[in-house]
Structure formats: structure tokens, C-alpha cells
Amino acid sequence: MQIKLIPLQAHGDDRGSLIALEEGKNIPFPVKRVYYLFNTKEGVRRGFHAHKTLKQVAIAVRGSCRFVLDDGNERVEVLLDNPAQGLLIESFMWREMYDFSEDCVLMVLADQLYDESDYIRDYAQFIEAANSHVHSSAQ
């Protein structure tokens, strides 16, 4: 599985750093929603879902955390520890997040508003849906 890490250019000078996120430029979709996870407790593992259509980009704007991404075929671990890097998470991708540093702020940009009906929260159901998604996209 190809993990898509988007390099985000930092504009730095002696005052500090600045990164701009722009739809159609470094963010490959229209941004409808932004949310962020913080104060995540030690040992917590969260996520445990996939989306039917949602696309997202996750950025550890502070601190670090790990992701498991699973396309139904392969599981890959990714460390996010750089505010100048965005992890693209396409639809039909099971994700789990863990090993949050105490200071971690994980920001997520999404191309749709929150919609519970877009979630697949059951792993067995995800595997079934991912397989039929692969077959229908290959046609």
C-alpha cells in the first residue's frame, strides 16, 4: 500500500514558522470541516473506523502520534511527528491512532461535514465493503 504523505512548505524566518493549507494546492480536496484531537490520554487508542466516501488529511501540528492504516489487504504503520507533513487518508481506509504524545494536537481536514452514516465502525463489515469496493472500482 502506498502511504501518501503531503509535504507542507514552512515559511520560516527568525520570527518562527508558518504553514498555509490551501484547497486545490497542498490539500487535494475542498475543505468542508476541520477538527482537532488534543488532551488525548496516555495509552488511548482511537479511530477504529473507515469512511465510505470521506477524504481527510491529518497533521500532527504539535507532538506526535502513530497511525495504523489498513486498506483491507495490508496494514501499514505511520508516525506523524512533523507539522510540515500531512497524511492523506482516502475512503475505505481503516484507521487507528495511538501513542499520542502528551502535547499532541492532531488536526484533521475533511472534505465533508460530519455524517455518521458515512462511517464503517465494524472491522468485519469494513473488510467486506473494502473488497467489494476494490472490485467495483476495478471494473
As to burial, measured by CB atoms within 10 angstroms (0-12 exposed, 13-18 middle, 19+ buried), residue 15 is exposed
Q: Please state the closest distance from residue 22 (CB atom) to ligand TYD, in A.
A: 21
Q: Does 35 bind ligand TYD (CB under 6 A)?
A: yes
The span of 2-10, 19-27, 42-50, 82-90 binding ligand TYD (CB under 6 A) equals: 42-50
Q: Please state the closest distance from residue 11 (CB atom) to ligand TYD, in A.
A: 28
Q: Does 38 bind ligand TYD (CB under 6 A)?
A: no
Report the alpha-carbon distance of residue 20 to residue 26 in Å, rounded: 9
Q: How many residues bind ligand TYD (CB under 6 A)?
A: 6
Residues 6+ apart with CB under 8 A from 110: 31, 32, 33, 34, 35, 54, 55, 56
**DSSP code for 112:** S
| Of the residues 26, 31, 46, 61, which one makes contact with ligand TYD according to CB under 6 A | 46
| Catalytic residue check, 49 | yes
Q: Please state the closest distance from residue 15 (CB atom) to ligand TYD, in A.
A: 33
**Coil, helix or strand at residue 98:** strand
Active site residues: 49
